[in-house]
């Protein structure tokens, strides 16, 4: 349930930096690259907190990648929340797509009842390769261009084709109010 972590050694390897002089700067830039990547895919601020979804459906999608299910509950006739055992629901899909919770019809779970799922969003222990590469692309840009202004004759900034946005776009989460 925490923000993704990319080791400093991996970042330095990507940048081809062998000295320790810039470690503090690289850590700062890496943190900024991770934050910006999370913003681009719609997960900024999402991974640092617990989520709760209430629904009358016995099968539904969760908006963010699921790191862990904390509890699944069903409201009883008296209005109290009762825990549903793990054996009575499944989580399907991967963290790169919408994941679905399916409650067992054999255990009597049908749409129309009131269900609540509490869960943590996140990528788990292994970050997706596309996420790391997107962060490394940004980190490389930040490290090489330590200023927000380019000065010089004939200098123009050009986005690298198939770069950061190409990696992030398929994983962007859209929200409509």
C-beta of residue 136 within 8 angstroms of C-beta of residue 7: no
In a domain, 94, yes or no: yes
Of 9-18, 28-37, 88-97, the one with minimum mean pLDDT is: 88-97
- Indicate whether 116 and 138 sit together in one domain: no
In a domain, 1, yes or no: no
| Secondary structure percentages of the chain, helix, strand, coil, to 5 | 30, 25, 45
Query: Can you give the residue range of the structural domain that contains 27?
Result: 8-45+125-149+160-171
**Burial track 47-82 (b if 16+ CB lie within 10 A, e otherwise):** beeebeeeeeebbbebbbbbbebeebbbeeeeeeee
- Indicate whether 92 and 134 sit together in one domain: no
Please say if the pLDDT value at position 26 is more than 90: yes
In a domain, 85, yes or no: yes
In a domain, 176, yes or no: no
- Indicate whether 29 and 14 sit together in one domain: yes
Write out pLDDT tens, residues 116-158. Answer: 999 888 887 788 898 999 999 999 988 988 776 666 667 666 6
66 or 151, greater pLDDT: 66
pLDDT in the model for residue 157: 67
Distance CA 169, CA 113 (A): 36
In a domain, 177, yes or no: no
**Burial track 137-169 (b if 16+ CB lie within 10 A, e otherwise):** bbbbbbbeeeeeeeeeeeeeeeeeeeebeebbe
- Indicate whether 40 and 24 sit together in one domain: yes
Number of domains the chain is built from:
2
In the chain, the percentage of residues whose pLDDT exceeds 90 is 39
Distance CA 14, CA 133 (A): 9
Write out pLDDT tens, residues 71-105. Answer: 999 999 999 999 999 999 999 988 777 789 999 98
Average pLDDT of span 18-29: 96
Closest CA to 99 of 68, 74, 141: 68
- Indicate whether 131 and 117 sit together in one domain: no
In a domain, 58, yes or no: yes
**Where residue 140 sits, what CATH number does that domain have?**
1.10.3230
pLDDT in the model for residue 40: 87
Distance CA 120, CA 71 (A): 10
Q: Which residues contact 36 (CB under 8 A, 6 or more apart)?
A: 138
């Amino acid at each position: 349930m925490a923000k993704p972590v990319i080791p400093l050694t991996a970042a330095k390897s990507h940048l081809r930096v062998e000295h320790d002089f810039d470690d503090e700067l690289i850590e700062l830039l890496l943190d900024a690259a991770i934050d910006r990547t999370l913003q681009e895919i719609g997960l900024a601020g999402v991974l640092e907190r617990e989520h709760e979804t209430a629904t009358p459906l016995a099968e539904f999608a969760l908006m963010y990648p699921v790191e862990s299910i904390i509890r699944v509950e069903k409201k009883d006739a008296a209005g109290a929340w009762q825990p549903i055992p793990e054996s009575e629901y499944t989580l399907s899909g991967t963290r790169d797509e919408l994941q679905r919770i399916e409650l067992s019809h054999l255990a009597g779970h049908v749409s129309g009842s009131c269900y609540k799922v509490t869960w943590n969003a996140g990528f788990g222990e292994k970050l997706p390769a596309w996420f790391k590469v997107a962060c490394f692309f940004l980190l490389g840009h930040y490290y090489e261009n330590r200023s927000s202004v380019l000065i010089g004759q004939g200098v123009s900034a050009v986005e690298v084709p198939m770069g950061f946005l190409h990696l992030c776009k398929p994983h962007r989460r859209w929200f409509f109010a």
